[in-house]
Amino acid sequence: MIQNAHSLEVTEVLNRLESDPESGLTQEQVALRLKEKGENILSRKRPKSAWKILIEQFLSPIVYILIGAMFLAFTFSEAIEGFAILVVILLNSCIGFLMEYKALRSFIALEKLVQTTSLVVRHGKKLDIPSRLLVYGDIIEVRAGDVVPADARIIKQQGLQVKESVLTGESRDVNKTIETVSLKSRITEQRNMIFGGTTVTRGNALAVIILVGDDTAIGQISRIIQDKSKKRSPLQKKLNKLTNWLIVLTLILAGIIVLTGLLSSNDAGLMLKTGIALAVAAIPEGLPVVATITLARGMLKLSRKQVVIKELESVQTLGETNIICTDKTGTLTENKMQVRVIELEGEVLDFDQFKGENEAEKSNPAFKELIEISVLCNNSNPVKSKHEGDAIEDALIEFTAFTNFDAAQIASEFPEFREYPFDTEKKMMATVNQVGNSFKVNIKGAPENIIDLCATVNDHGKLKPFENKIDWLRKVEERASEGLKILAFANRCLDTFKEGSEIYKDFVFVGIVGFLDPPRKDIANTMKVYKDAGISVKMITGDHPGTAVNVAKSIGLLEPNHTGEELVKGTEFSNFKDCSPDLQRKIIEAKIYSRMLPKQKLEIVEILQMNGGVVGMLGDGVNDVPALKVADIGIAMGVRGTEAAKDVADVILLDDKFTAIKLAIHQGRAIFENIRYFVIFLISCNLAEVISVTVSSLINLPMPLLPMQILYLNLVTDIFPALALGMGKGSRDIMKMGPRPSGEGLLIKKHWRAVITYGLAITLSVIAVVICANFYMELSLVQTNNMAFVTLVLAQLLNVLNLPELKTSFWNNEITRNKWIWLSLIISLFLTFLGFSVDFLSDILSLERLSFNQVMISLGFASISLVISQLLKRVGVI
């Protein structure tokens, strides 16, 4: 390992690291260094350890209350209760631990699916390996869109620019060189170094790794990369808030009961029991576990459908998403480009699937120039038959193969001297190629921009002043409105080339090429699904408005008779705040944003958010990164996406299918609905327990529930229906409803009304059975209590049927269709039966066998709660 690599010559650095740019490290070197320094991961990104998860299980208010209750029980010689509560605490923590640990393992497995990789030269071969396996001395290649995997010294570079804001706070891109800088240079001045965690925005480089993992500059500074500014309060937090609130309420209630009880009666033991019973009754012990299981299960389900969600929390935001912004190429279209038309000055060449024989090849010298530019100003491999580069560039090479020209020969005849990589702001790329002793600059890019740089036009080999620019712009417009993607081509000769001189001027215009990029087949259907689901889709593209509108129409994003209102061009505004109110409204309501600069993408997302949008943003390029970060849900493409985009995204579509988002949204909505169901279920059940105990103790009725019985109910019998509710597929019309309002609480008013109604209805059944058993049937206190217990179990299980919305049928709805529900009810009934029939349990739970008649009477009383709830629901009380 070496210090201050920036101040050393590259050869010196390589020598000291025993590495070589051509062959890289050997396998043995790598193995040793990996052992010495460990994997290239920052410790703050290392997953939680099993110990930490275990300890965290005991650090929750629920456990504190239970521990408090346990101490009270032991102190007042209620040893059985004390032990039982201890078992509950341990059981609860164990289940919590196992669930969270399992979720963590799945996270790690999912992360492996989307881990960042780097191009590295090792033992003479170029390999694509996970970035965490890099070691110092490794030779890496980085290019635009990559996240730099570790701190490295640049060996070679072409137009390299890096965004180092994570490290330095500087938002402008930094130009990099290979020159040695002085020893004392600060990080911002070390232009010959690239640092882990920064993003390559332009160009490419070969570099040798100096430092990995926590030794890197980003690992050294304690300042943590600023977290995404997502405003929504996470679901887990909402749940915690709800639980804490319930705990406070319970403690107050328990305090009042114990106090009034102590003042009015002398039975301190009973009062204490009641207090403990209340404390354990109100706390929804199972809630956190069920919530974690439900979310983790949703994530796993989606990953099987090629959608990876990086954080559990994103699931809930997906359910709130009301706008989806997407780029065009490759997302809405196939990104399979084919040359369809070439227009030169005075000549139009239409190609039907490349079959066209064309005279221009022989007779028009401008055609030869155009082919030369296509081959030279191109990063695709001219020799390989299978191309893997930029789709446009591949298409140009493929097209050349159908002419009489030989791409490989052109490439070797005019070697590249300098490249100006594709620049998303300028929307063009250029190369300087050697032609004998002089040079030729070849350029291709967005027609408006290229035409602007041209002074002359190549008319069948003769140069003429370029006076018909307007005509050419019109031709571009016409072709674009046919749905073709249009690129313009130009060149210029130079006698000498001076590094740093301005090349973007005085070009000779050669012509335009129209590419066909067919819309994806499955898109039109998906558009309809989004429309029904109240989600508006917006296209933000760098492409020409004509092309964008044509594609939008063909996939149903725009009506065939669209008026132009839905289209905004990047040139129409530079700062939203300075726009007229009319333009502002147009920007907010538009469906197509064309010729957008990268920074405008970010601005659009922010504008939409400010106007109530919960925005899902799809992107793949490095220029999409800021917008992906700011969007409520950043969605990156797994195959086509750059490492930088995948790094900041919340959701990754492994198979690049736009349609997969609808699955994610469906799942997000269903999960939230399920969570709501079991929260309503658990809280209303707990409420019934609390009120039953409170009322009985206030009016001096026999105690309907003992602490152990409540614990058994909450932890054993209630948990299965709750889990089953979490497994539901969601209501049938879930994608026909609008998205949930942004930031809506876990439960809204109507849900609270439902919780209270169901809770009160169950209480009524319990109190009624107590009165009936005690006064009418004249049963013993134990039997009365046992009948109340059974009534409560049955009423709580029946409570599941209360959950579906009124608009669905009572017999056929998402709850009755959920087979898990039925299974859970059987399990819960069986567990209740065990409580009575296994001696050990019946002792702890103070249960005695009940007669068939007594059980039937309990069932009758339990049904009353269901009938009351349903009646109240139907008359509109809830």
Per-residue contact flags (x/-) with ligand ATP for residues 239 to 278, judged by CB under 6 A: ----------------------------------------
Residue span binding ligand ATP (CB under 6 A) among the ranges 14-22, 226-234, 441-449, 468-476: 441-449
The gap from C-alpha 783 to its chain's centroid, in whole angstroms, comes to: 54
Six-digit token pair at 130? 């996970």
Per-residue contact flags (x/-) with ligand ATP for residues 542 to 571, judged by CB under 6 A: xx----------------------------
Nearer to ligand ATP, 333 or 799 (CB): 333
- Nearest residue to ligand ATP by CB is 542
Nearest-angstrom CA–CA distance, 650 and 665: 13
Least distance CB 547 / ligand ATP (angstroms): 8
Using CB under 6 A, which residues numbered 393 to 412 contact ligand ATP?
393
Residue span binding ligand ATP (CB under 6 A) among the ranges 323-331, 351-359, 530-538, 575-583: 323-331
Nearer to ligand ATP, 286 or 421 (CB): 421
Nearer to ligand ATP, 459 or 482 (CB): 482
Asked whether 12 and 155 are in contact (CB, 8 A), the reply is no
Asked whether 418 and 475 are in contact (CB, 8 A), the reply is no
Instruction: State the alpha helices, DSSP H only, in 567-659.
Output: 581-589, 598-610, 625-630, 643-648
Using CB under 6 A, which residues numbered 465 to 504 contact ligand ATP?
487
Three-class HEC string of 533-545 = CCCEEEEECCCCH
Least distance CB 348 / ligand ATP (angstroms): 20
Asked whether 85 and 73 are in contact (CB, 8 A), the reply is yes
Residue span binding ligand ATP (CB under 6 A) among the ranges 14-22, 56-64, 267-275, 536-544: 536-544
Per-residue contact flags (x/-) with ligand ATP for residues 182 to 201, judged by CB under 6 A: --------------------
The residue count for binding ligand ATP (CB under 6 A) is 18
Asked whether 872 and 783 are in contact (CB, 8 A), the reply is no
Residue span binding ligand ATP (CB under 6 A) among the ranges 166-174, 240-248, 439-447, 822-830: 439-447
The residues, any chain, with a CB within 8 Å of residue 395's CB and separated by 6 or more, are 337, 338, 339, 515
DSSP string, 301-320: HHHHTTEEESSTTHHHHHHH
Least distance CB 551 / ligand ATP (angstroms): 9
Burial 252-265 (b: 16+ CB within 10 A, else e): ebbeebbeebeeee
Q: Which of 273, 427, 538, 666 binds ligand ATP (CB under 6 A)?
A: 427
Could you report how far apart the first and last alpha carbons of the chain are, in Å? 69
445 binds ligand ATP (CB under 6 A): yes
Of the residues 327, 517, 624, 718, only one is catalytic, namely 327
Nearest-angstrom CA–CA distance, 579 and 601: 17
Asked whether 703 and 638 are in contact (CB, 8 A), the reply is no
Using CB under 6 A, which residues numbered 828 to 857 contact ligand ATP?
none
422 binds ligand ATP (CB under 6 A): yes
Least distance CB 298 / ligand ATP (angstroms): 30
Reference 516, options 630, 642, 354, 646; nearest CA is 354
Q: Where are the beta strands (DSSP E) in 351-461?
A: 416-423, 428-435, 438-445, 454-459
Q: Which of 392, 618, 719, 872 binds ligand ATP (CB under 6 A)?
A: 392
Long-range CB pairs of 3-8 (<8 Å, 24+ gap) are 4/183, 5/153, 5/193, 5/210, 6/153, 6/180, 6/181, 6/185, 6/190, 6/192, 6/193, 7/180, 7/181, 7/182, 7/183, 7/185, 8/153, 8/180
Using CB under 6 A, which residues numbered 568 to 597 contact ligand ATP?
none
Burial of 656 (0-12, 13-18, 19+ CB in 10 A): buried
Nearer to ligand ATP, 151 or 448 (CB): 448
Least distance CB 485 / ligand ATP (angstroms): 6
Q: Which of 167, 218, 429, 864 binds ligand ATP (CB under 6 A)?
A: 429
Least distance CB 677 / ligand ATP (angstroms): 40
Nearer to ligand ATP, 311 or 390 (CB): 390
600 binds ligand ATP (CB under 6 A): no
Reference 541, options 530, 555, 528; nearest CA is 555
What backbone phi and psi angles, to 5 degrees, belong to 315?
-60, -40
Reference 767, options 813, 849, 705; nearest CA is 705
Least distance CB 331 / ligand ATP (angstroms): 7
Nearer to ligand ATP, 295 or 410 (CB): 410
Q: Which of 40, 541, 694, 832 binds ligand ATP (CB under 6 A)?
A: 541
Nearer to ligand ATP, 274 or 326 (CB): 326
Least distance CB 649 / ligand ATP (angstroms): 16
Least distance CB 502 / ligand ATP (angstroms): 19
327 binds ligand ATP (CB under 6 A): yes
Nearer to ligand ATP, 164 or 543 (CB): 543
Least distance CB 539 / ligand ATP (angstroms): 7
Nearest-angstrom CA–CA distance, 275 and 111: 47
Nearer to ligand ATP, 444 or 553 (CB): 444
Nearer to ligand ATP, 371 or 868 (CB): 371
Least distance CB 444 / ligand ATP (angstroms): 5
The residues, any chain, with a CB within 8 Å of residue 780's CB and separated by 6 or more, are none
Using CB under 6 A, which residues numbered 628 to 667 contact ligand ATP?
none
Six-digit token pair at 559? 């009506």
Nearest-angstrom CA–CA distance, 440 and 463: 15
By three-state DSSP, how is residue 70 classified? helix
Respond yes or no: is residue 327 known to be catalytic: yes
Q: Which of 5, 14, 174, 428 binds ligand ATP (CB under 6 A)?
A: 428
User: Scanning the structure block, which residue is given the tokens 């963590």?
Assistant: 104
Nearer to ligand ATP, 153 or 328 (CB): 328
Nearest-angstrom CA–CA distance, 637 and 650: 11
Least distance CB 637 / ligand ATP (angstroms): 11
The gap from C-alpha 35 to its chain's centroid, in whole angstroms, comes to: 34
Asked whether 166 and 205 are in contact (CB, 8 A), the reply is no
Six-digit token pair at 851? 């007669």
Residue span binding ligand ATP (CB under 6 A) among the ranges 167-175, 385-393, 579-587, 646-654: 385-393
Residue span binding ligand ATP (CB under 6 A) among the ranges 426-434, 766-774, 798-806, 809-817: 426-434
Nearer to ligand ATP, 421 or 730 (CB): 421
Nearest-angstrom CA–CA distance, 862 and 856: 10
Nearer to ligand ATP, 279 or 337 (CB): 337
Least distance CB 349 / ligand ATP (angstroms): 20
Six-digit token pair at 812? 């056929």
DSSP-based helix, strand, coil % in the chain, nearest 5: 50, 15, 35
So which residues are the catalytic ones? 327
Binding site for ligand ATP (CB under 6 A): 327-329, 390, 392-393, 422, 424, 427-429, 444-446, 487, 541-543
